[in-house]
Amino acid sequence: MLANFFGLGNAATPLGIKAMQDLQSLNDQKDNITFEMMLFIVLNTASIQFIPFSVVGILSDFGSANPSGIVLPTLCATVISAVVALVILFLFRRLMK
């Protein structure tokens, strides 16, 4: 999740797979996904980014006058998407009980 926080999403993939394998080893019902696994997937997919280093680097390479100007809008957008994803997850959990 730290790799996602810093905008390095591709670096987070192997670590995310390892985390899911660890969560699956704790799962009693191997055919079903646990709520914790769903929560991890939602948070990892929403990918809250504090500093999107990849985008800042690209903007800098192309000569942007203010490449770090993308930080606040990215933070706002990713936090909003994560909150919406979590709300939907918890709503589905409540509806499916």
pLDDT tens digit sequence for 12-39 = 677 778 888 888 888 888 888 888 888 8
pLDDT at 51 over 70: yes
User: Among 89, 18, 84, which Cα is nearest to 48's?
Assistant: 84
The domains of the chain are located at 2-96
Mean of pLDDT over the chain: 83
Averaged over 34-58, what is the pLDDT? 82
pLDDT at 87 over 90: yes
Which amino acid type is present at position 89? L
pLDDT of residue 44: 80
DSSP state of 68: G
CB 8, CB 47: distance < 8 Å: no
